[in-house]
Amino acid sequence: MIAYIKGKPVSKTENSVVIDVGGIGYQVNMPSGDIAQIGEQSVMVHTYLQIREDNPPELYGFLTTEQLSYFHK
């Protein structure tokens, strides 16, 4: 499990952010409100990795552990 990612955001879309962590870019699906709060400095994102048989793995991220807990419910 990937508990969190900490690194520099390199690109954003409406629904995701690519975060560079040690030269590897992780695409993290996030709520648009969280994406709007991310600047150019290093960011820490609490994550949930979803793996299903019928879809490729998806990484979801949130700026707070409270949001992550709500997502689990």
Residue 26 half-sphere exposure toward CB, CA atoms < 13 A: 25
pTM above 0.75, yes or no: yes
Are the C-beta atoms of residues 29 and 68 closer than 8 Å to each other?
Answer: no
Structure-model confidence comparison of residues 35 and 73, the more confident one: 35
Average pLDDT value for residue range 46-63: 95
Quote the pLDDT of residue 24. 97
Q: Which strand (E) or helix (H) includes residue 63?
A: none
| Calpha distance 14→52 (Å, rounded) | 23
Q: Amino acid identity, residue 66?
A: E
Above 90 in pLDDT, residue 8?
yes
Q: Which strand (E) or helix (H) includes residue 66?
A: helix 65-72
Above 90 in pLDDT, residue 3?
yes
Average pLDDT value for residue range 29-47: 96
